[in-house]
Amino acid sequence: MAKKLLLVDVDCGVDDAQAIMMALAAPTVEILGITCCFGNTSLENVCKNVLRVLEVCNRTEIAVYSGASNSLLGGIKPEFAHFGTDGLGDTGESASVGLEPLQKEHAVNALVRIVNEHVGEISLVATGPLTNLALAVKLDPTLPQKLKNLYIMGGNLEGRGNRTVCAEFNFYLDPEAAQIVLNEFTCPTYIAALEFVYNNALSKEFFDNWIHQKSLKGKFMKRISTKTQLHSFGFVSYDSYAMAAAIEDDIVTDYLKFGVDVDLRGQFTRGMMILDVDDRLKKHKVFLMKTCDLEKFQRLMMAALQ
């Protein structure tokens, strides 16, 4: 059976690391490249974090590309706090990683090139701000037609945010990019929004068992998870849900299907994802993940650290 071809665009914090390790452990998947964007930490740290994850997993042959260092308008100053200032729990895991292994090609150019080399075959998984994707579609407006699928972790469904009152972290850091992607990427698009990942959280007991695996990967995850914020309702590996959906088609068991957009002007709602439930905007429909097969998801999570 031919492997699924993935391109992965990340702002590598702890949850991106978890998602990357999940994909690396999946025998049915081949990662053609990893593109980096600012978000959970600075662009330089993101690149170092990705290189460190590949080093831990003994997969340094995978090409890594440096991309956008700020939002399209450059008006938002990220606060690097959720996973520590370096994105990996301030553990120093990436402090000694050099940037020499980075490809010379810019991430946006790499996205366009690689998709054009594999027309109709690539699933693009985006787990950070969508800046690189927005720039790529402006370089090549036909890009979405050449993708097999797009998987996004971002946005929200009910107007409650985790960065502002009404906006989810990834969309808020570059609302213009999110709007461009949701409007111009007309390929089949699957979104793991904030409410979906919260409603499908894993137990704290699972988290404890998961990070105490004795493998090198398990020990690495335990070290970088010191600042992982466990919610009252459990453990949420945000980005891993989008990655899991890209790896196994049936892991998400139910979807909503609506047109969506992003608010850019509201005092409180800038960056909020808007659901067009009555089809008033006449936009193409996306698949909004609703329920997850948690048993299968847990198996992918466990395999990531083995």
104-144 tens-digit pLDDT: 999 999 999 999 999 999 999 999 999 999 999 999 999 99
CB 34 within 8 A of CB 64: yes
Q: Rounded mean pLDDT of the chain?
A: 96
Q: What is the dihedral of CA 229, 160, 190, 255, to 10 degrees?
A: 110
Residue 151 parent element (H or E):
strand 149-153
Residue type at 199? Answer: N
What are the chain's domains?
A: 4-304 (3.90.245.10)
- Quick one: pLDDT at residue 80? 65
- Quick one: pLDDT at residue 226? 84
3-class secondary structure, 289? strand
Distance of alpha carbon 285 from alpha carbon 145, whole angstroms = 15
Instruction: Characterize the bridge pairing of strands 285-292 and 189-192.
Output: parallel
The DSSP result for 74-129, as a single string, is --------BTBTTSSTTS-TTTT--STTS-SS-HHHHHHHHHHHTTTTEEEEE-S-
Has residue 57 got a pLDDT over 90?
yes
Residue 52 parent element (H or E):
helix 43-56
79 — pLDDT class (breaks 50, 70, 90): low
228 — pLDDT class (breaks 50, 70, 90): confident
**Range of lowest pLDDT (67-81, 84-98, 186-200):** 67-81
Distance of alpha carbon 233 from alpha carbon 252, whole angstroms = 20
18 — pLDDT class (breaks 50, 70, 90): very high
| Residues in CB range of 144: below 8 A, 6 or more apart | 137, 150, 184, 185, 186, 187
CB 144 within 8 A of CB 115: no
